């Protein structure tokens, strides 16, 4: 039924998200989350810029663990739009910075939102 309805890939992706802590470990899972899971690319959001750098250093290991988790899932070799023979591509982002946009339309000649010295 799962394969007939085309749910195998989505089920494999959901399995990776659900087992994220066991795939990457407690410490890494505490400091990064899966933000997006697109065909062939996984976007991770780190809790700090230093953790983003650590994740970039661990990127090949994390990619291999994700591929192994996808292969063992219900989708098999074509899980979540990702051919596990080719691997996955991780996109690692640091924490989202503050937005300086406070108002919709700025006034001409007025101070800007980042002009705090003046």
Q: What's the domain range around 50?
A: 8-93
pLDDT in tens, the chain (118 residues): 666 777 777 787 888 889 999 999 999 999 999 999 887 889 999 999 999 999 999 999 999 999 888 887 665 555 555 554 567 899 999 998 776 666 555 566 666 666 666 5
Q: Cα(8)–Cα(5) distance, rounded to whole angstroms?
A: 8
- Asked if 31 and 98 touch (Cβ cutoff 8 Å), the reply is no
CATH of the domain at 29: 3.30.300
Burial class of residue 9 in the structure, from the number of CB atoms within 10 Å of its CB (0-12 exposed, 13-18 middle, 19+ buried): buried
72 belongs to a structural domain: yes
Number of domains in the chain: 1
106 belongs to a structural domain: no
104 belongs to a structural domain: no
98 belongs to a structural domain: no
Give this prediction's pTM. 0.69
């Amino acid at each position: 039924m799962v394969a007939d309805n085309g749910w195998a890939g989505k089920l494999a992706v959901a399995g990776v998200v659900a087992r994220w802590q066991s795939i990457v470990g407690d410490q890494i899972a505490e400091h990064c989350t899966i933000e997006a899971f697109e065909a062939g690319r996984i976007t991770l959001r780190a809790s700090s810029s230093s953790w983003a750098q650590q994740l970039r250093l661990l990127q090949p290991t994390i990619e291999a663990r994700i591929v192994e988790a996808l292969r063992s899932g219900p989708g098999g070799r074509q899980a979540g739009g990702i051919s596990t023979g080719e691997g996955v591509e991780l996109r690692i982002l640091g924490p989202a910075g503050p937005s300086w946009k406070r108002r919709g339309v700025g006034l001409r000649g007025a101070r800007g939102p980042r002009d705090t010295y003046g």
